[in-house]
Amino acid sequence: MQKLWGGRFSKATDHEVDDFNASISFDSRLYREDITGSIAHAKMLGRQGIISREDAEKITAGLEGILADIEAGKVEFSEEYEDIHMNVEALLTERIGEAGKRLHTARSRNDQVALDMRMYVKKEIREIRSMILEMLTALSESAKQNLHTVMPGYTHLQRAQPVTFAHYMMAYAQMLRRDVLRLEDTYARMDEMPLGSGALATSTYPIDRDYVRAELGFARITENSIDGVSDRDYCVELASDLSILMMHLSRLSEEIVLWSSSEFKFVELDDAFSTGSSIMPQKKNPDVCELIRGKTGRVYGSLTALLTMLKGLPLAYNKDMQEDKEAVFNAVDTVKMCLKCLIPMFRTMKVLPENMKRAAEHGFINATDCADYLTKKGVPFRDAHRISGELVAECVQKGKALSELSLAEYKAHSEVFDEDIYQAIDLHTCVEGRCVPGGPAPAEVERQIASMDHFIQEHSISGEEE
Ligand code: ARG
């Protein structure tokens, strides 16, 4: 079979090289972007009189037919044609003859692939963003149901101060909110149409880049043709945004792994989202969380692969850049797969407030409040801290919680203590007292939730407009 670019060659390509060179096995997923881009290009060529209107129409109809056939599973791509771009073009010429050979006028595969990838990345950003918004909704709903669910907050994984499960979930919501914003930033920056850059130096035809831009719904056209075919920053940015997102999902997953252990027992995963052991009948494993944690490495891998692939490339296009695809696809697929399982797993996860409360009661997490109690009665904080620490030591020795010490035991450490100490170190008082903006007090967390709901709503609407 003669290659589309075979004119200057006297020999067929070595078979190993054909295999090595071909990208159709993975870039076939760009068929829709490729065809949509080609239709816009053909229409523009027709309007500008670069090809005849009849040819433009034949090409458009031919491409639409190919698109329909691909979607119906009727097309088999061939490795001989290397990539999706040449497969579609060869198929078109096979179907409509002469006119098909005019499609590639004033275009190169270099700007074609740059266009396809940008269209693909834009689509995936929109999809992933709406999945994150769904996860945000799930977090916000869980928070609303757990405004009063007291649990220990940790530092160094040691019980530290009382918070609520709602407060905790809204912390994760903040991370995912930033992920949405990061993806939107990336999107806004990359929303540029590269077609017309040609191989690297545009062309001598009177093409109308702005028409193609408008047809394909891009905000701007790329400003420089050399950059237009060489820029893969948006792939790096996407992989970086997705790496940060995965880091967040992995941290949440790690918490759920811990919380679903018998040692914590703060949550229970639904049977549909857990797995068993082949040998230990009692096991109920949080595999989904573990896989999310584990798959995070793949997405980091994509980011590293892209940065490394690009760092030594002279301008403009180099074949190395074909490697951008699997890296981007891998990151996108992994993130979507993780979110698809995480969202329903999280929604069906049972929160066990009683166990959280028990852990909160036995961790001296109200020791700071005990010190604050003394401080509010005039004791300097440093002294109050020491007294409170001595009380904790006594509790540890006696196997008691702070709330279980008698007033006499308190008074032995400081005369300032009175009956109202019990109210002051009650866990609900401790949580409610932290009503500073950002704090765990139910009223304050309600405010955080309302602001998050507003964010979710606004960003879901702007998503529908695109
Ligand atoms: N399959 C190629 C890629 O993914 C398309 C661009 C090829 N251009 C070229 N001059 N060989 O990058």
H-run or E-run covering 164: strand 158-164
Choose the residue to mutate in 229, 318, 322, 328 for probing ligand 1, maximizing ligand atoms within 8 Å of C-beta. Answer: 322
Does the pLDDT at position 465 exceed 60?
no
Decide if 428 is catalytic.
no
Q: Are 122 and 187 in contact (CB under 8 A)?
A: yes
Structure tokens at 377: 């009665």
* pLDDT tens, position by position, 227-244: 999 999 999 999 999 999
pLDDT in the model for residue 452: 98
CB of 230 closer than 6 angstroms to any ligand 1 atom:
no
Whole-number Å distance between alpha carbons of 263 and 285: 14
The percent helix, strand, coil of the chain (3-state, each to 5) is 70, 5, 25
Q: Are 144 and 449 in contact (CB under 8 A)?
A: yes
Whole-number Å distance between alpha carbons of 447 and 466: 30
Structure tokens at 56: 């433009």
Structure tokens at 445: 């967390």
pLDDT in the model for residue 349: 97
Q: Are 234 and 186 in contact (CB under 8 A)?
A: yes
* pLDDT tens, position by position, 277-311: 777 878 789 999 999 999 999 999 999 999 999 99
Structure tokens at 130: 């709406």
Choose the residue to mutate in 26, 83, 107 for probing ligand 1, maximizing ligand atoms within 8 Å of C-beta. Answer: 83
pLDDT in the model for residue 10: 86
Q: How many Å lie between the centroid of ligand 1 and the Cα of residue 113?
A: 7
CB of 83 closer than 6 angstroms to any ligand 1 atom:
yes
pLDDT in the model for residue 7: 84
CB of 253 closer than 6 angstroms to any ligand 1 atom:
no
Active-site pick, 15, 156, 278, 406: 156
Whole-number Å distance between alpha carbons of 459 and 72: 34
CA-derived radius of gyration, the chain: 30
Q: Give the position, in ligand 1's atom list, of the atom nearest the Cα of 23.
A: 1
Average pLDDT over the chain reads: 95
Choose the residue to mutate in 20, 27, 109 for probing ligand 1, maximizing ligand atoms within 8 Å of C-beta. Answer: 109
pLDDT in the model for residue 72: 98
H-run or E-run covering 179: helix 165-190
pLDDT, greater one: 140 or 461: 140
Q: Are 106 and 50 in contact (CB under 8 A)?
A: yes
Q: Are 67 and 35 in contact (CB under 8 A)?
A: yes
Does the pLDDT at position 382 exceed 90?
yes
Torsion (CA) 286, 291, 296, 298 in degrees, nearest 10: 170
* pLDDT tens, position by position, 145-155: 999 999 999 99
Whole-number Å distance between alpha carbons of 363 and 404: 13
* pLDDT tens, position by position, 120-129: 999 999 999 9
Please, which residues bridge with residue 192 across strands?
220
Does the pLDDT at position 385 exceed 90?
yes
CB of 109 closer than 6 angstroms to any ligand 1 atom:
yes
Q: What is the mean pLDDT of residues 41-46?
A: 98
Q: What is the mean pLDDT of residues 22-37?
A: 98
Decide if 277 is catalytic.
yes
Active-site pick, 25, 261, 277, 462: 277
